[in-house]
Amino acid sequence: MRGRWLTFRQSVSRWGTRLKGGPSWLRSSLGARLWLSACNQVGANTRTFWRPNIENRGRIIIGANVRLNSHWAPIELVSGPDGVIDIGDRVYINYGSIISAQLRVRIGSNVMIGNYCIVADTEIPGIGDPPGKPSIAPRQIEIGDGAWLAARVTVLPGSRIGAGAVIAAGSIVAGDIAPGDLAGGIPARTLRAR
């Protein structure tokens, strides 16, 4: 029964890509109620602008005061059957970003994520493999509090980004970035240490 009810709620959210009319604060908070209904937990005063795509087959937890901007390209949050996406408080995610977890992706508080970023703990983000195919083991991703990912950053499986680190636009992050560093390039290296 529960499965059918969820399917119905998801189909409600498929009616349109955004709400129209009314003041924007009302629109964005009502939109969050409607479009984040597939998430397991959503904090107070979290808002969405236009409609994100949520595919929750595991667990998605979103903190308070989060802003999800899906204006020009939707944000995609995907969790596989064993996947956990844990987003902290006051996070801002810009449009076109993909966050995909087959194992665990943790994003701390006050993180800013630029447009078209990819944060995925498997090599190929999105809902996993066709059945009966060996999968590549996911490795979990941690992004520390107050980190800032500029536009088009790719965070590869197994990466850890320290608190307050800044990743320059277009970088590919593999491995660890120390807290507070400014890192960039392919693969990302420290350009300026704290």
Partner 1 sequence: MTSRDSWNAVRARRWLRKCAAVGEGLRLDGRPTVEYYGGRIRIGSRLHLASRPVASHLAVGPGALLDIGNDVSIGCGAAIAAFQHVQIGDGTRVGPFVIIMDTSFHGSPGDQSLQHNCRPVMIGAGCLIGTRVTITRGATIGDGAEILAGSVVSSAIPPGVCAAGARARIIGRAGDPASRWDSAAAVLPNMLMASLGLDSPPDLDSGPIPPHLWTNAGIGAVLGAVHNRFGVELDPAAVREIRSFADIAAAIQRVLWEH
Which stretches of the chain bind partner 1, using CB under 8 A? 7, 53, 70, 73-76, 96, 98, 116, 118, 120, 123-127, 129-130, 133, 136, 152, 154, 156, 172, 174-175, 185-187, 189
5: burial class by Cβ within 10 Å (0-12, 13-18, 19+)?
A: exposed
Tracing tokens 């290296």 back to the chain, one arrives at 189
Distance CA 187, CA 194 (A): 19
By beta-carbon proximity to partner 1, the closer residue of 22 and 194 is: 194
> How is the beta sheet containing 76-79 ordered, strand by strand?
53-56, 76-79, 98-101, 118-120, 154-155, 172-173
By beta-carbon proximity to partner 1, the closer residue of 69 and 146 is: 69
By beta-carbon proximity to partner 1, the closer residue of 87 and 118 is: 118
Q: Least distance from C-beta 44 to partner 1, angstroms?
A: 26
Q: Least distance from C-beta 172 to partner 1, angstroms?
A: 5
E-strand spans in 89-168? 92-93, 98-101, 104-107, 112-113, 118-120, 141-143, 148-149, 154-155, 160-161, 166-167
Structure tokens at 69: 């901007």
Q: Least distance from C-beta 150 to partner 1, angstroms?
A: 15
Q: Least distance from C-beta 182 to partner 1, angstroms?
A: 16
Q: Least distance from C-beta 159 to partner 1, angstroms?
A: 9
By beta-carbon proximity to partner 1, the closer residue of 89 and 107 is: 107
By beta-carbon proximity to partner 1, the closer residue of 53 and 110 is: 53
CB 151 within 8 A of CB 117: yes
